[in-house]
Amino acid sequence: MKFIPLVLAACLEISALAADAPPAEKADAPAPVMAPVPAATTKPKYEQFHVNTSAIALTFDDGPHPKNTPRLLDMLKERGIKATFFLIGKSVATYPEIVRRIVSEGHEIGNHTWDHKTLRAMSQEKINEELQKTQDAIVAACGQVPLIYRPPFGAITSKQQKAIMEKFHYPSIVWEVDTNDWKSPRSIAKVHDTILKDTHAGSIILCHDIHFETVDAMPSTLDELKAKGFQFKTISEMIKLEADEVQAVAAGKPLPGATPPAAPKAEEKPAPKAEDKPAAKP
Ligand code: NI
């Protein structure tokens, strides 16, 4: 009983804050078209998702690339597949029209720093600059504030991660399935085979759409993943799915996205006594 008014007060305070958002106080900052959505998670880092649904997250780093990113977008569109793009700030500033296309076709954008330097060795102030400059470029290009980031090379300390979560509300998104598609010799087969062999429900798959071999590997890779029954979700969708599944399990409810049981529940439709004998199977 005691905490209910507190929770209510906290909710009211949050809605009051949202309602009081200053309309044009920050004249120097570009006005986002979409309001920032509060972080959907308090988990600081994800390498994979713990889900029972056959959902996976395909991620493409270091773009946008003027030729390969549009080619990849065509392939994804043709198959109705959503992915996540971790973009480099300076390339966002160079190719804003590709950034707009990524967002308009329903994919997610993550912050991948301004120029892809290792964050580990940097001061927190410099890290904040890298991420802020990139966030500003993304907002200027497409009007969306990113909700996630990926440290270049996956290199980040827990202390830095915590500071980034506090300032930007970004969880660190790394990966589980590594195509190593940046290493020479690059090949279509290596990308395809690694993904098909290593992917399971909840996997975060790391690819780079700046390499044409990676993009060339996608049609067969995507079709075969689909044939295996995988569903493609963005990172933010996966974060929500994982949280929803945890809640459903705690509440004893069926998992979201899971196929509902074919048979009607016994308590809803009690079978008449006459039908107690086993039914003949067709
Ligand atoms: Ni990268």
Q: Per-residue pLDDT tens for 60-102?
A: 999 999 999 999 999 999 999 999 999 999 999 999 999 999 9
CATH code reported for the domain at 51-250: 3.20.20.370
Which of 61, 181, 209, 216 does the annotation list as catalytic? 61
208 is catalytic: yes
For the cut 70, the answer to whether the pLDDT of residue 274 exceeds it is no
CA of 78 to the centre of ligand 1 (A): 26
What is the three-state SS of 178-233?
ECCCCCCCCCHHHHHHHHHHHCCCCEEEEEECCCHHHHHHHHHHHHHHHHCCCEEC
163-220 pLDDT tens trace: 999 999 999 999 999 999 999 999 999 999 999 999 999 999 999 999 999 999 999 9
Q: Two tokens at 100? A: 């707009």
Using an 8 Å Cβ cutoff, are 87 and 134 in contact? yes
pLDDT of residue 254: 85
CA of 204 to the centre of ligand 1 (A): 14
CA of 130 to the centre of ligand 1 (A): 14
61 is catalytic: yes
- Give the global pTM: 0.79
Domain ranges within the chain, ordered by starting residue: 51-250
For the cut 70, the answer to whether the pLDDT of residue 248 exceeds it is yes
**Ramachandran sector of residue 62 (left: φ over 0; alpha: ψ -120 to 50; beta: rest):** left
